[in-house]
Amino acid sequence: MSLAGKAQFGPGVSRNVGEIARKLGVSSAVLVTDATMEQLGTAERISGYLHDAGVECCLFAGVEPEPSVETTDAVAELAREHDCRLVVGLGGGSCMDVAKAVSVLITNTGSAGQYQGLGLVPNKGVPKIMIPTTAGTGSEVTFTAVLIRKSDGVKGGINDEKLFPDFSLLDPELTLSMPPCVTAATGMDALTHALEAYTGRNASPFSDLLAEAALTRIGRFLRVATWNGHDLEARSEMLLASYYAGGALANAGVGACHALAYPLGGMFGVGHGMANALLVPYVARHNALSRPEKYATAAVFLDAGAEELPLRDQALACADVLDELVADLELPSTLKALKAGITAEHFPEMAGKAMGVARPMENNPRPMTKESCMALYKEAME
Ligand SMILES: [Fe+2]
């Protein structure tokens, strides 16, 4: 078990980016972010901290919500041109994923598309610092960068230990501006990481510790962070939860919910967090009796109030508490409610694609088939 890189946590720690860069001895960095961070002035502040430390900063603020291979290649080209020896990722999972990929593209030739797969990156990247501004993806502590190829719409991860960030600066003040819908969806992504790592076949006592730390915080603080975004305690606890859940995922992987969620993103443009939030209660109900002790404990962490029930009912209460959470967060709870044009005719293709997401499927506690995927989509329809 490992937790990659060094992490600092607390209001204001993002200003330490300059000091870290100075200690690394670099003279030029690329800051990878999106239009929201530029509009909020956060990108300017972070580049200011770098500048004050004597580090020249190249800004790229064009990362899209579903980041592409093409965008990543363009940022890498910019970084190579300016001889950037440090990458700073500022934003949600998309920005951090692109930043991680750029770090290894600076030291390896060619396109990001060549490295989609597992362990295909030959050379170590330049140092990378992640500054998350959402609380959910856990990208600041994982070795994956998920990128979509614009040419054929196929989504694939660069999965390689060389993508582990060197530093994560967890500054809850940067998450205060997240609107409720983003807070809710990204928070549910973190919850899904923790739950799938906790109940998966690769779970270990170490990943369990991280997953438990995440689940208890999410059960207690996700509603508050969503509906009272100025509550710094709730924001802080959710940012920690996201980091812990990411650590659990980095060590134990995710499961069928993530695999089933991918086609919703790839085929219909549904956001990753929202897709997981929608599916996670159905998957929990499907899996609960294959690993009842774990689902029962997860239900307790999520505050289901099911401690007095028999084990079977406790395990199933996990799915019920997830239903309640999705409803409280006002997220769509059926495929129909997404209004994304999904019909039963799409299920065979969606199920085929989900089964193709091999590692999460193999990690799921209850073995999955194309038929069981179709049955799950059907159940989630309305
Ligand atoms: Fe996720």
Query: Tell me, what DSSP letter sits at residue 41?
Result: T
Contact present, 40 and 176 (Cβ < 8 Å) = no
Residue finishing a domain among 129, 148, 175: 175
Give the per-residue pLDDT at 156: 85
Do residues 340 and 371 share a domain? yes
In the chain, DSSP assigns E strands to 6-9, 28-32, 56-60, 86-91, 117-118, 128-132, 144-148, 155-159, 167-170
Q: Is 367 within the bounds of a domain?
A: yes
Q: Is 144 in the same domain as 217?
A: no
| Residue that is last in its domain, among 175, 201, 218 | 175
Residue 54 alpha carbon to ligand 1 centre in Å: 36
Structural domain count, the chain: 2
How far apart are the CA of 58 and the centre of ligand 1, in A? 29
Whole-number Å distance, alpha carbon 192 to ligand 1 midpoint, is 7
Which pLDDT tens digits describe the chain residue by residue (382 residues)?
A: 567 789 999 999 999 999 999 999 999 999 999 999 999 999 999 999 999 999 999 999 999 988 999 999 999 999 999 999 999 999 999 999 999 999 999 999 999 999 999 999 999 999 999 999 999 999 999 999 999 888 877 778 999 999 999 999 999 999 999 999 999 999 999 999 999 999 999 999 999 999 999 999 999 999 999 999 999 999 999 999 999 999 999 999 999 999 999 999 888 989 999 999 999 999 999 999 999 999 999 999 998 788 889 999 999 999 999 999 999 999 999 999 999 999 999 999 999 999 998 999 999 999 999 999 999 999 999 8
Q: What is the mean pLDDT of the chain?
A: 95
Question: How many whole angstroms from 375 Cα to the centroid of ligand 1?
Answer: 22
Please tell me whether residues 302 and 171 are part of one structural domain: no
Cα(173) to ligand 1 centroid in Å equals: 23
CA–centroid distance, 275 to ligand 1, in Å, is 9
Nearest to 9 by CA among 274, 247, 182, 230: 247
d(CA 325, CA 341) in angstroms, rounded, equals: 25
> Which amino acid is present at 138?
G
CA-based Rg of the chain, rounded to a whole angstrom? 20
Q: What is the CATH number of the domain that holds 16?
A: 3.40.50.1970
Do residues 152 and 132 lie in contact, with contact meaning Cβ atoms separated by under 8 Å?
no
Task: Say if strands 128-132 and 86-91 run parallel, antiparallel, or are unpaired.
Answer: parallel
Q: Are strands 128-132 and 167-170 parallel, antiparallel or unpaired?
A: parallel
Give yes or no for a contact between 254 and 275, defined as CB atoms under 8 angstroms apart: no
- How many Å lie between the centroid of ligand 1 and the Cα of residue 144? 11
Q: How far is the CA of 194 from the centre of ligand 1 (A)?
A: 10
196 Cα: distance to centroid of ligand 1 (angstroms):
10
- Same domain for 286 and 143: no
Cα of 277 vs centre of ligand 1, distance in Å, is: 10
The pLDDT value given to residue 1? 56
User: Which amino acid is residue 43, in one-letter code?
Assistant: A
CATH code of residue 192? 1.20.1090.10
- Is the residue at 303 inside a domain? yes
Q: Report which DSSP code applies to 151.
A: T
pTM of this structure: 0.95
Instruction: Give me the pLDDT at residue 151, please.
Output: 80
* Amino acid residing at 75: V
The verdict on 113 and 241 lying in the same domain is no
User: Are residues 124 and 227 part of one domain?
Assistant: no
CA of 66 to the centre of ligand 1 (A): 13
Strand 144-148 to 155-159 pairing: antiparallel
Q: How far is the CA of 184 from the centre of ligand 1 (A)?
A: 13
In a domain, 117, yes or no: yes
User: Are residues 101 and 47 part of one domain?
Assistant: yes
Residues 185, 225: Cα–Cα separation, whole Å: 12
Which residue among 132, 148, 175 closes a domain? 175
Full domain range(s) for residue 235 = 180-381
Ligand 1 centroid distance, CA of 259 (Å): 10
Q: Are residues 123 and 50 located together in one domain of the fold?
A: yes
What pLDDT shows up at residue 305? 82
Give me ligand 1 centre to Cα 266, in Å: 14
Position 1 in a domain = no
